[in-house]
């Protein structure tokens, strides 16, 4: 009952993440732009466009810390709830395990896909979120070496964690297809009022495709960011890429809002499926 109640409002968490994240970025960019695009002490000699960390190390540092902390504090529970509500339902597992395709069920519901991937993705995201909060405290103006190390750890673990989430989602779609086919093969007739929740796929394929594009683009931009920053010393291009990556994170989280909203809508569908035929009509 508690999980069902939480499921109805789970979409609020990524909504807070996106709102606080975009509000922070807007405040930082507006402060830099309206101040006449000043050059900060932490910037390189050839740099004209400020990095987010350069602006966040100035007077808006408290806002930088608070908004980042709020975003990350709601980001981790959002991904955890995503794994929880997008996993196969207990009905689906029970029905599949009792079917004649037990061997197939064991393969698609392995410990790796049901526990290891979600746990690893959440752990990496947690490390990335922690590093991101710490780098707002150890700013680039006062602790440059620590800040750079935290930045590398945050970006790397975030991208890998998001990639694992997308990979797990593709596996879930395949699992759903196999479970559904195995159950339908065992039943000569499946009535729409007697079918179980196994027929309902909570994962939105368009949302998954968009998230995957965001993650792939983030990976490419992060690689180029590293090249531009540490090898080619093209700091203005690197700054633009950094702003693009953090905006893509907002887009990624917006997809999670849609996913968890879809899980909320699915509750009503499952309730209608479980109703007696006369009531459902």
pLDDT of residue 29: 97
pLDDT digits over 199-235, tens only? 466 788 999 999 999 999 999 999 999 999 999 999 9
- Low-confidence residues of the chain: pLDDT under 70: 1-3, 88-110, 179, 182-201, 265-281
pLDDT of residue 178: 73
pLDDT of residue 176: 76
pLDDT of residue 177: 78
Nearest to 113 by CA among 76, 177, 164, 159: 164
pLDDT of residue 185: 55
DSSP calls for 62-104? HHHHHHHHHHHHHHHHHHHHHHHHHSPPHHHHHHHHTSS-HHH
pLDDT of residue 5: 73
d(CA 215, CA 168): 14
45, 144, 151, 199 from 233: Cα distances, Å: 11, 16, 17, 53
Nearest to 264 by CA among 79, 9, 74: 9
Residue-range domain boundaries for the chain = 15-30+46-276
pLDDT digits over 233-247, tens only? 999 999 999 999 999
pLDDT of residue 279: 40
Query: Which two structure tokens, joined as six digits, stand for 218?
Result: 């983030």
pLDDT of residue 191: 45
d(CA 217, CA 248): 8
pTM score, whole prediction: 0.84
pLDDT of residue 76: 96
């Amino acid at each position: 009952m508690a999980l069902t109640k939480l499921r109805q409002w789970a979409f609020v968490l990524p909504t807070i993440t996106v709102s606080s994240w975009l509000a922070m970025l807007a405040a930082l960019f507006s402060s830099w732009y309206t101040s006449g695009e000043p050059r900060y002490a932490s910037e390189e000699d050839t740099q004209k466009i400020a990095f987010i960390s350069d602006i966040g190390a100035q007077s808006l540092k408290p806002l930088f810390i608070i908004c980042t902390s709020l975003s990350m504090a709601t980001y981790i529970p959002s991904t955890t709830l995503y794994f929880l509500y997008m996993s196969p339902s207990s009905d689906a597992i029970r029905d599949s395990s009792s079917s004649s395709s037990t061997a197939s069920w064991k393969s698609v519901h392995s410990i790796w896909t049901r526990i290891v991937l979600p746990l690893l993705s959440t752990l990496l995201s947690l490390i990335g979120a922690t590093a991101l909060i710490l780098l707002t405290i150890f700013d680039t103006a006062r602790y440059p070496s620590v800040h750079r190390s935290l930045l590398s750890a945050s970006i790397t673990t975030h991208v890998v964690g998001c990639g694992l989430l997308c990979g797990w989602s593709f596996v879930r779609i395949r699992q759903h297809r196999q479970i559904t086919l195995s159950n339908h093969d065992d039943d000569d007739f499946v009535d729409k009022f007697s079918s179980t929740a196994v027929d309902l796929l909570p994962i939105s394929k368009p949302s998954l495709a968009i998230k995957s594009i965001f993650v792939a683009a983030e990976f490419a931009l992060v690689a180029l960011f590293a090249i531009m920053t540490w090898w080619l010393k093209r700091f203005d291009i690197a700054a633009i890429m950094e702003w693009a990556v953090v905006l893509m994170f907002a887009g990624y989280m917006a997809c999670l809002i849609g996913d968890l909203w879809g899980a909320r809508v699915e509750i009503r569908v499952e309730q209608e499926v479980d109703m007696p035929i006369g009531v459902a009509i």
